[in-house]
Structure formats: C-alpha cells, structure tokens
Amino acid sequence: MLKEIRCVHFSHSKISFHPGLNVILGDDDAKNSIGKSTVLMVIDFVLGGTTFLKDDAGAIRELGHHHYDFAFEFAQQRWFFSRATDTSDVVHVCDEDYVRLSELPLEEYHGLLKRLYGLDGLGGSFRSTLNPFSRIWRKGGLEPDQPFVAVPQESSAIAIGRLIDMFGRSADIAAERKALEEQKERRTLIKNSMKASILPNITKTKYDENTKKIAENHANIDLLKQGLGGALSVYESLFDESLQQKQQRKNELVGRRADTQNKIKRLQREISGITPRLAANIALITDYFPTVDVKRLEQVEAFHQRIGSIVKKELKAELAVANAEEVATANEIAVIDIEIQAALQKKGLPEDMFKRVFELKEVTDRAAEENRHFERKVELEEAIKLSSQRLDSIYVGIFLDIERQVNLKLRAFNKVVYGPSRASSELRIKSASSYQFTSPADTGTGKSYAGLIGFDLAILSLTGLPLLIHDSIIYKNIEVPAIRRILRILAAVKSKQIILSFDEAKKFGIEAELLLKRFSVLKLGHNDLLYNKDWRDQK
C-alpha cells in the first residue's frame, strides 16, 4: 500500500498514509484552491497516472518542474521511488533516503505495481484497473451512471471487459472468444481474397447452377462410358495421371502460342510503320512556307531516321525471339499430340472421346471446386454463428453472477445509508457492449452519487482492486444524514486503502467531525495550503 509522499514544495514535510480510510481534510468554509483535489492528483501521479501533467491546478506552471518522493509497503517490505514532472516517462528506484539508484520506464513501473498489489492474474494493466476508481475533479470518473469507465468516451465494451477481468472471469470466455476471432479473421481473409479474384466469389445461385452442371456432366460421362460397350472404362482413362498432365500441358501451350502469335502481329505492324517520310515533303513545305529553315528540317529528319533505325532494330530482334518461341511452342504441341494419340491407341480409346471426357471433367472439377469454396464459406458462417451463441451464453452466466454479487452489496449499502424503504442502485449488464447502472425508483442526484460510492465499495470488497480515490465533489449533493452513515462505512474498511478529500466537517455533526479528524492524514485550509507558494490571486 502507499505509505508516504514527500515534496520540497509541500507546506508539510510529508504525507503519511495508513490502511483503510485516509482523509485529506479541508476547512469548514469549503474553501476552494487550497489543494485538496491537487493532492489527489499527486497521489494518482505517484501511482503512475499522467493527468497531473495537464497542470490544471497550475502547480507545474508556478513551481516549475519538480519531483515527488514516495514509498509503498508490501508484506512488511518498503519500496522507495521518485518521479519528476519533466521526466515523467521514467520512475527512479531509490534507497530509504531517496537517493536514486536506477530507473524504470513508466510501463515497467506499472507492471511492478501490478505485481506488488497482487494483480498479476488480471489481463488488464494496473492503470486500466485503477483509473475508473480514481475519481478526481478534472480527471474523470465522476459520472454516476458510468461507474467503471476509465477515460471519457471509453466504449462500454471495454468497460465491461475490464469488469469481467476484475472478477476473474476472463478465462471463462478466452478460448471461445479466441476461436470466434480466428473464425472472423478467416472470413475477412476469404472475403478479401474473393474481392481480389484470388478465390472464386460464388453466390447461392451460382452454387445451384454448378450443382446442376456437375450432375449433368456426370450423366454425360456415363453415357460416353456406355457407348464404348465396356471395351474400356472411361474413368480408368480419365484418371490416368500421365494423360491428364499431357492434356493440361497442351492446353497451356495452346494458350501461350495464341499470345505469342498476337505479339508477332503487333511487332510486325510497328515495324512496318516506324519510318516517317518527312524528307520527301520538304520541297512541298518550302512552297507553302518560303521562310522555313530547310536545314533545320533536314536535321530533324536525320534525327528521326536515326531513332527509327535504332527502334526498328530492337523491334526486329524482339520479333525474331517471338517467332522462335512460336515455333518451339508449336513443336512441343505436336510432340504432345503424338504422345497422347499413342497412349490412347494403346488403351483403345478414341482421341475425340478422350477430349470430350477431359473437357467434361475439367468443367465438372472447376464447378466442384467453386462449390467447395462456397460450402466452406457457409460452414464458416455457421461456425461463427454457433460460436457467437456459445459466447453469448457464457457471457450471460458471467453477467448474472457479477450482477448478483454487486447488487447484493448495493442493497446492503443502501439499507445502511437510506433504510430498507428506498430503492437501491442496480447494475444491469445487457450484453458484452451494453450496461446500465441506475436507481430505477429514485433518480435524485444525491442518490445517484451515493450509488456510485456503493458501487466502488462493492468492487473494493469483491475484487482485487487495492484502493479508491474519491474527491469531495462526489459527496456534495448527498444528504447530510446519508453522508454520516457513508463515512461510518468508509471508516470500517481495514485492509485496503480509501483516500478521500473532504471539507465542511462540522456540517455533519460532532460524530462525523471526530471521525474525519481521526482518519485525517492532511489538514488544509485557507492559510494552510498544500504547497509553500500561493498563486490563488494571480491573474
């Protein structure tokens, strides 16, 4: 737990803390700008927060960059640290005299606090766990209907995920959620591959057409087989791997030869029209334009001829290569034709029969492959649906359990603070991305903030949350009798820490005043400020 904070600019040499309730007590006139919220920001800062650096209170502006020395105690062992406002991304590890020994990057410091506070079992970071319950003016966490939102405008899904984590239920959903995420990633990959034409994009209509085509082609192959009178099984020949490879190679070569022939025709056209005949028309140009620079025209023509000669040479070389490729391809096709015919004659299967069966087989295989992609896509969608349903079912069980535990605590808190006749605040988690925290039968402002305090105390007792930080503004709108009872509840906390800023102690009666003074760790007032410099009246 936090034991002390020191700063050379403090009016008091140090602030010491103890288990249970720790009160930063203001004066009875509820004076502002004396440092109550600022000291809470400093506490948040030494716990690894960054809101203090925004300097809403003007401490850095007025005091310049400075540092805070602070200590924790865990299992009777002291840990000493120092953190400065100008090098806030590191925390210094110190000895008991606050002599700096080494540095920890801020993220590693967060990890160390998480371990020391016994929160290693949580998936979230130390700051993510603490932030929603560090409720300080101008920092956040002051919305009574959003009790576990860490930062403004944080999504409900993240907040709910944090609550599940804090109750130790993340493992219950981890495996199913991982499976669902992987399935969704596969779906996205398939969708993108279809969009890029890497995979065939088959609709249900196309799937049905393919199914019909497959059935028809199988029937046609059966007819061809029957037409052979049993002399040779068409399927025996059809699945002859050597014949298939030869036919496939021939099809590839025929396509390549067609491309080469088109290239040859293009090159021939370019070669035939490459040379301009401007020189033959120079005399005609001079008749129309007597002042034309004939010498310049002759230089241009000579240049064109040189360029044309170079380009024509390159094109002719490219044409020769293309012709050679075409001849080589034609020769390979001829050789494959002979090999296919010889193999077919040996098997007693007519060549035209083989070609027809091969064509049917290719079309059928392509349709079957397309349908397999469609079926996999349908299976994946069904798997995603079932996984989502299983995950929802797991969530429902977790939500009901968390609701039951929290709402039992809220009802007990409400009974002490308001009596059994007034409705308690309730937590209702509707889904993994939606929740509601409200007092259904009592929507007053004071009741809402009391419910927020009750929620924090419930989480403090039900989870590993190590401490609460409450600013006095949370308590301003709550009825005086209710405040008295809340203070007694806060004072009963023993093992964990509650750090509370509070003022106007006399307003709540002698018993509450004595309680606040007993748990006070710092007393501030109009003439007793947090820092030894007063900048309240500066413009």
Residue 408 has pLDDT above 60, yes or no: yes
| pLDDT confidence of residue 27 | 87
Strand, helix or coil at 142? Answer: coil
Give the C-alpha separation, 234 to 253, whole Å.
Answer: 25
Q: Is there a contact between 281 and 298 (Cβ–Cβ < 8 Å)?
A: no
Mean pLDDT within 39-64: 94
Radius of gyration of the chain (CA): 42
* 279 — pLDDT class (breaks 50, 70, 90): very low
* 377 — pLDDT class (breaks 50, 70, 90): confident
Mean pLDDT within 390-405: 94
Per the model's pLDDT, the better-predicted residue between 372 and 346 turns out to be 372
Give residue-wise pLDDT tens across range 87-112: 999 999 999 999 999 999 999 999 99
The pLDDT > 90 percentage for the chain reads 49
Give residue-wise pLDDT tens across range 467-518: 999 999 999 889 999 999 999 999 999 989 999 999 989 999 999 999 999 9
Half-sphere exposure of 122 (CA within 13 A, CB side): 26
Single residue among 292, 327, 348 that ends a domain in this structure: 348
* 276 — pLDDT class (breaks 50, 70, 90): very low
Per the model's pLDDT, the better-predicted residue between 4 and 336 turns out to be 4
Going by their DSSP bridges, the two strands 434-438 and 20-25 should be labelled as unpaired
Average pLDDT, the chain: 84
User: In angstroms, what CA-CA distances link 71 with 8, 41, 102, 136, 164?
Assistant: 15, 16, 15, 22, 31
Residue 343 has pLDDT above 50, yes or no: yes
Residue 127 has pLDDT above 50, yes or no: yes
Q: Is there a contact between 268 and 260 (Cβ–Cβ < 8 Å)?
A: no
* 539 — pLDDT class (breaks 50, 70, 90): very low
- Considering 28-42, 190-204, 263-277, 392-406, the range whose residues carry the highest mean pLDDT is 392-406
Give the C-alpha separation, 135 to 460, whole Å.
Answer: 14
Residue 283 has pLDDT above 60, yes or no: no
> Taking the mean position of all CA atoms in its chain, how far away is CA 28?
48
Of 333, 323, 331, which is closest to residue 253 (Cα–Cα)? 333
Mean pLDDT within 111-115: 97
Distance between first and last Cα of the chain: 39
Provide the 10 A C-beta neighbour count for residue 262.
Answer: 11
Give the C-alpha separation, 366 to 377, whole Å.
Answer: 17
- Torsion sign (Cα): 384, 386, 392, 398: negative
- Total number of domains in the chain: 2
| pLDDT confidence of residue 47 | 98
Mean pLDDT within 7-25: 94
Establish if 333 belongs to a structural domain. yes
Give the C-alpha separation, 299 to 505, whole Å.
Answer: 104
Per the model's pLDDT, the better-predicted residue between 161 and 341 turns out to be 161
8 contact partners, CB below 8 Å, separation of at least 6: 66
Q: Is there a contact between 466 and 48 (Cβ–Cβ < 8 Å)?
A: no
Establish if 385 belongs to a structural domain. no
Among the residue ranges 330-334, 379-383, 414-418, 480-484, the one predicted with the least confidence is 330-334
Residue 270 has pLDDT above 80, yes or no: no
Give the C-alpha separation, 176 to 397, whole Å.
Answer: 14
Give the C-alpha separation, 358 to 410, whole Å.
Answer: 76
- Torsion sign (Cα): 497, 499, 504, 507: negative
Give the C-alpha separation, 78 to 358, whole Å.
Answer: 82
Per the model's pLDDT, the better-predicted residue between 82 and 446 turns out to be 82
Bridge partners of 10, per DSSP, are 531
| pLDDT confidence of residue 272 | 66
Among the residue ranges 30-34, 75-79, 81-85, 340-344, the one predicted with the least confidence is 340-344
Among the residue ranges 59-73, 90-104, 275-289, the one predicted with the least confidence is 275-289
Neighbour-count burial of 347, counting CB atoms closer than 10 A to its CB (0-12 exposed, 13-18 middle, 19+ buried): middle
For the chain, give the number of residues: 539
Among the residue ranges 289-293, 349-353, 390-394, 512-516, the one predicted with the least confidence is 289-293
425: DSSP letter: P
| pLDDT confidence of residue 70 | 98
Bridge partners of 528, per DSSP, are 525
Tokens of 283: 């005399």
* 441 — pLDDT class (breaks 50, 70, 90): low
| pLDDT confidence of residue 2 | 97
Residue 13 has pLDDT above 90, yes or no: no
Establish if 178 belongs to a structural domain. no
Give the C-alpha separation, 65 to 83, whole Å.
Answer: 11
Give the C-alpha separation, 16 to 214, whole Å.
Answer: 83
Residue 353 has pLDDT above 80, yes or no: no
**Domain encompassing residue 245:** 235-348
Residue 534 backbone phi and psi in degrees, to 5: -110, 115
Mean pLDDT within 328-332: 87
Establish if 258 belongs to a structural domain. yes
- Residue carrying the six token digits 């503004």: 473
Single residue among 348, 367, 387 that ends a domain in this structure: 348
User: In angstroms, what CA-CA distances link 333 with 239, 243, 329, 344, 374?
Assistant: 21, 14, 6, 16, 36
For residue 215, give the amino acid letter: A
Per the model's pLDDT, the better-predicted residue between 168 and 363 turns out to be 168
Bridge partners of 470, per DSSP, are 135, 500
| pLDDT confidence of residue 294 | 53
Mean pLDDT within 140-151: 87
Single residue among 325, 348, 371 that ends a domain in this structure: 348
| pLDDT confidence of residue 278 | 44
Mean pLDDT within 306-312: 60
Establish if 325 belongs to a structural domain. yes
Tell me, what CATH number does 482's domain have? 3.40.50.300
Q: Is there a contact between 11 and 48 (Cβ–Cβ < 8 Å)?
A: no
266 contact partners, CB below 8 Å, separation of at least 6: none
